[in-house]
Amino acid sequence: MESISVFCGSSEGNDGKIVEAARELGRVLSSNGITLVYGGTKVGLMGALANSTLAGHGRVIGVILDFLKAKEILHGNLDQTIIVESMHQRKLKMHELSQGVIALPGGFGTLEELFEMITWSQLGLHFKPIGLLNAGGFFDPLLVFLDRMVSKGFLKPENRNMLLVDDSCTGLLAKMQTYRPQFVPKWIDKEQT
Determine whether 91 is exposed, middle or buried from the number of CB atoms within 10 Å of its CB (0-12, 13-18, 19+): buried
pLDDT tens-digit map of 84-123: 999 999 999 999 999 999 999 999 999 999 999 999 999 9
CB of 50 within 8 A of CB of 62? yes
The domain total for the chain is 1
pLDDT tens-digit map of 36-72: 999 999 999 999 999 999 999 999 999 998 887 666 6
With cut-offs at 50, 70 and 90, classify the pLDDT of residue 25.
very high
The number of CA neighbours under 13 Å toward the Cβ of 50 is 28
What's the chain's length in residues? 193
Q: Is residue 193 part of a domain?
A: no
Q: Is residue 186 part of a domain?
A: no
Neighbours of 44 (CB within 10 A): 20
The confidence score (pLDDT) of residue 186 equals 58
Q: Is residue 192 part of a domain?
A: no
Q: Which residues are paired to 94 by β-bridges? A: none
Which of 22-26, 95-99, 126-130, 181-185 has the weakest average pLDDT?
181-185
Identify the domain containing residue 16 by its residue range: 3-178
Amino acid at 105: P
Output the domain CATH number for residue 42.
3.40.50.450
Q: Is residue 165 part of a domain?
A: yes
Q: Is residue 80 part of a domain?
A: yes
For 101, residues 6+ apart whose C-beta sits below 8 A from its C-beta are 4, 5, 6, 7, 95, 114, 117, 128, 129, 130, 131
Q: Is residue 184 part of a domain?
A: no
With cut-offs at 50, 70 and 90, classify the pLDDT of residue 81.
very high
Q: Is residue 147 part of a domain?
A: yes
User: For residue 177, what is the enclosing H or E element?
Assistant: helix 169-177
The confidence score (pLDDT) of residue 193 equals 43
Amino acid at 12: E
At residue 179, does pLDDT exceed 90? yes
With cut-offs at 50, 70 and 90, classify the pLDDT of residue 21.
very high
Determine whether 158 is exposed, middle or buried from the number of CB atoms within 10 Å of its CB (0-12, 13-18, 19+): middle
Q: What is the mean pLDDT of residues 135-151?
A: 97
Q: Is residue 191 part of a domain?
A: no
Report yes or no on whether pTM surpasses 0.85.
Answer: yes
